[in-house]
């Protein structure tokens, strides 16, 4: 297969339009073949293998900064792994080859293949720990949300900024026992709660288009790697997000320190987590509010992808029909 060539200084622009999309498309199609089979690790491995194969074709000197979660003991694109041909610019890469492995395994809505790419040395090198998160989309005054404020205060502040009653606000929250108090507090304001079982990268992205998704705010704790991916999306589209690592053991604090986290109580903004020009692409695996899932037809595979760039604020929605199925290595 012919090698991709890119003019110096135009790597991110070129990858935005085509190559980044190809990476997430391949991962999504590979994992979609295992929808509803009940095997999370097999679906994840299929996505990882496809994503690694396509990343290694790109004209970049890439380094995985955010990789697969070690908690799952899943097949990983591991932190520190070098990808690409090595004949191009140095870039940081954050990946979640299959966000929502359970969703895919159960053929439930909302699983996606997602990755972000940024200038080298500009993505937060986040340890695989939990992270407090709160996020809203664009169009609100700075300071509308506050990670240290109560859920009630944040809901009332957002409702005021939006010019509506709290009862017209919907918060997206991961359905976890640890969030029982949070859920009760949000509902106590009269606001609605939309619960998700997995997929908090997509969950944060949902806040950027509440008219379409019905989601105004994301609140709760989830994985730190997913937080950086979500921040990359908001960096491209706009919005406000605050996060804080949960370093509740000495082992976690030491691990974070080795990864460059000097202040364990630091509150991170979008611009702390993604400091330079970045790109993010996500392809639907199963159909959700954000993206359509992979669709197999006779001789054709259909995919739905969103790709964004921070420098231009461009968001492209790409619906593709693939007829050369050999590129997916489906076997």
Q: pLDDT by residue (tens digit) across 33-43?
A: 999 999 999 99
CB 325 within 8 A of CB 302: no
**Beta strands 314-322 and 300-309: pairing type?**
antiparallel
CB atoms within 10 A of CB 57: 17
Q: What is the mean pLDDT of the chain?
A: 89
- Annotated binding-site members for substrate: 99-101, 130, 176-178, 198-200, 223
Task: Give the Å distances, CA to CA, from 251 to 45, 258, 272, 324.
Answer: 29, 11, 24, 49
pLDDT band at 313 (very low <50, low <70, confident <90, very high): confident
pLDDT of residue 53: 93
Q: pTM above the 0.85 mark?
A: yes
Lowest mean pLDDT, pick from 63-72, 122-131, 245-254: 63-72
How confident is the model over 161-175, as a mean pLDDT? 97
Provide the annotated binding site.
Answer: 44, 68, 96, 99-101, 130, 176-178, 198-200, 223, 226
- Lowest mean pLDDT segment, chosen from 123-127, 134-138, 281-285: 123-127
Q: Bigger pLDDT: 305 or 326?
A: 305
Give the residue numbers of the binding site for Mn(2+).
44, 68, 96, 99, 226
């Amino acid at each position: 297969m012919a090698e991709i060539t890119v003019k110096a200084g135009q790597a991110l622009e070129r990858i935005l339009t085509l190559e980044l999309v190809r990476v997430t498309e391949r991962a999504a199609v590979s994992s979609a073949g295992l929808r509803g089979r009940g095997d999370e690790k097999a679906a994840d491995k299929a996505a990882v293998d496809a994503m690694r194969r396509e990343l290694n074709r790109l004209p970049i000197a890439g380094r995985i900064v955010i990789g697969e979660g070690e908690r799952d003991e899943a097949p990983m694109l591991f932190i520190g792994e070098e990808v690409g041909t090595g004949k191009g610019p140095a870039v940081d890469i954050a990946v979640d080859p299959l966000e929502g492995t359970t969703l895919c395994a159960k053929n439930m809505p909302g699983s996606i293949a997602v990755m972000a790419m940024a200038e080298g040395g500009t993505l937060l090198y986040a340890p695989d720990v939990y992270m407090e998160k709160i996020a809203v989309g664009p169009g609100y005054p700075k300071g509308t949300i506050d990670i240290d404020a109560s859920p009630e205060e944040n809901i009332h502040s957002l409702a005021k900024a939006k010019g509506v009653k709290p009862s017209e606000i919907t918060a997206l929250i991961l359905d976890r026992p640890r969030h029982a108090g949070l859920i009760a507090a949000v509902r106590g304001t009269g606001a609605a709660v939309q619960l998700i079982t997995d997929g908090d990268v997509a969950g944060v992205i949902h806040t950027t288009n509440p008219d379409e998704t019905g989601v105004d705010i994301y609140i709760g704790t989830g994985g730190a790697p997913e937080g950086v991916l979500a921040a990359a999306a908001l960096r491209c589209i706009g919005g406000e997000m605050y996060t804080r690592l949960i370093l509740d053991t000495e082992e976690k604090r030491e691990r974070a320190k080795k990864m460059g986290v000097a202040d364990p109580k630091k509150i991170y903004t979008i611009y702390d987590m993604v400091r330079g020009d970045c790109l993010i692409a996500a392809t639907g695996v199963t159909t959700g509010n954000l993206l359509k899932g992979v669709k197999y037809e006779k001789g054709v595979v259909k995919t739905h992808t969103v790709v964004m760039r921070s420098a231009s604020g461009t968001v492209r929605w790409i619906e593709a029909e693939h007829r050369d199925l050999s590129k997916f290595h489906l076997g």
